[in-house]
Amino acid sequence: MITKRFLAPLLLLPLLLLSVGVARADTIHVVQPGDTLYTIAQKYGVSMEEIADANNLANIRAVMLGFPLVIPGVDGPLGAPTPTPAPSTPRPARTYSVPASAVATNGGVIHTVAPGDTLFSISMTYNIYMANIIEANDIANPRVLQLGSKVFIPGATLAGRAGSAAATPSPAAAATPAAGAATATGSNLFKNGDFEGDWYFYLYNELQVPTGWQLATDEGPNTLNPGSGGLFNRPEVRVVGTNQLPPNEWDWFVRNGTKAVKVFKGGAPTAFSMFQDVYLQPGRYRMTLNFFPDIVADYNQGGERSWNTDPLAGEISIIHNNGGTSWSSVTAGQKNSRVYEFTVGQAGAHRLGAAFRNRFETANNGWFLDDWRLERIG
């Protein structure tokens, strides 16, 4: 039986094939639970960049469950029986050239968005990380670029890639952020760190993400032991105000201002992360994350909560690039905080935030996030 989760992407498959112009040698992979762009690339023997480019993916860290991805230049997974191909001309490597409309400026290049441009293709053109471009332009939704808009490419030159074959972008060693960016001691270097600003929908209407932040959800197998098994379920994410909460809960959930991020799912395990890419100069930094684990074992007839006291019911892990911290338990039903300090030796983009998980089926696996701060302390 095809569930509703997979039905819409599959109905769109013929349209997708027409729109991207799948060549005879290409194949289609429907994203399965547990898939990542890395595992898919390994399965078919192609690079993540080739898949991202063929599908106009703005965020290579997130692939949507059930979505059909074009795998360019292959007939099937490695090791699968394939028919003897007819002689053909090898597919040339994709090249990227700086357009004539690009203008050099102090610290980088101004790129005018043209038809067919994506954030990925622009990053490949100038050999600059997408994270650096997003940070420099305060891009709220990396999937949407307005035709004709101007995008600042930090650290780029008009030489760019100059028609060279596709390769993995490298950090912009000479990138120069706006004056004063990520340097002021004591100020919050997170954009919209108090979540009082605007928000955008990410993939689904039930995922409201604060402007300046990125969200990822895990919908793969829950193999944690102990745990409830099955699959992790996608939670709902809302930016809520005090006008949407009972007055007696304001002090619980809202740390600063009048808004907080509410993440919740009843009766199913969940796993998600929220993070931001921040350009930092050399120095010492402190990240403080405040949250309230709304992890409920049961509700009484009056709606009052009975908190889940199992120390493994909720866990958090700090995200710092590809590292951070190991998982640690939280205390449900009260305010929690995590403080993480680190040193930056060379200027560059840093991915910072946190991952959260609930391994058990319980009445509510919920989190309220508010007042996240990143400060330079030395």
Which DSSP state fits 213? -
Can you give the pTM of this predicted structure? Answer: 0.56
- Burial of 213-243, coded b for 16+ CB within 10 Å and e otherwise, reads bbbbbbbeebebeebeeeebbbbbbbbbeee
User: In angstroms, rounded to a whole number, what is the distance separating the alpha carbons of residues 121 and 127?
Assistant: 10
User: What pLDDT, on a 0 to 100 scale, did the predictor assign at position 118?
Assistant: 82
Q: Are 176 and 132 in contact (CB under 8 A)?
A: no
User: In angstroms, rounded to a whole number, what is the distance separating the alpha carbons of residues 208 and 200?
Assistant: 6
> Alpha helix (H) ranges present in 207-337?
250-253
Q: Are 219 and 270 in contact (CB under 8 A)?
A: no
- Burial of 40-63, coded b for 16+ CB within 10 Å and e otherwise, reads bbebbebebbbbbbbbbbbbbebb
User: What pLDDT, on a 0 to 100 scale, did the predictor assign at position 66?
Assistant: 63
> For the CA atoms of 246, 248, 249, 255, what is the dihedral angle to 10 degrees?
120
User: What pLDDT, on a 0 to 100 scale, did the predictor assign at position 26?
Assistant: 75
User: In angstroms, rounded to a whole number, what is the distance separating the alpha carbons of residues 289 and 338?
Assistant: 5
- CA nearest 32: which of 4, 67, 2, 1? 67
Strand partners, 228: none
User: What pLDDT, on a 0 to 100 scale, did the predictor assign at position 374?
Assistant: 98
Whole-angstrom CA distances from 324 to 107, 317, 351, 359 are 30, 7, 10, 20
User: What pLDDT, on a 0 to 100 scale, did the predictor assign at position 117?
Assistant: 85
Coil/strand/helix, residue 54? helix
* Domains recognised in the chain with CATH numbers: 4-8+21-71 (3.10.350.10), 95-171 (3.10.350.10), 199-376 (2.60.120.260)
- CA nearest 364: which of 240, 227, 267? 267
* Ordered per-residue pLDDT tens for the chain, 378 residues: 444 444 444 444 444 444 444 444 578 887 776 677 778 888 888 887 788 777 766 555 566 666 678 888 787 777 655 444 444 444 444 556 888 888 988 778 899 999 888 877 787 788 776 767 887 888 877 767 888 999 988 878 887 643 333 333 333 333 334 334 444 567 999 999 999 999 888 877 889 999 999 999 998 999 999 999 999 999 999 999 999 999 999 999 999 899 999 999 999 999 999 999 999 999 999 999 999 999 999 999 888 999 999 999 999 999 999 889 999 999 999 999 999 999 999 999 999 999 999 999 999 999 999 999 999 999
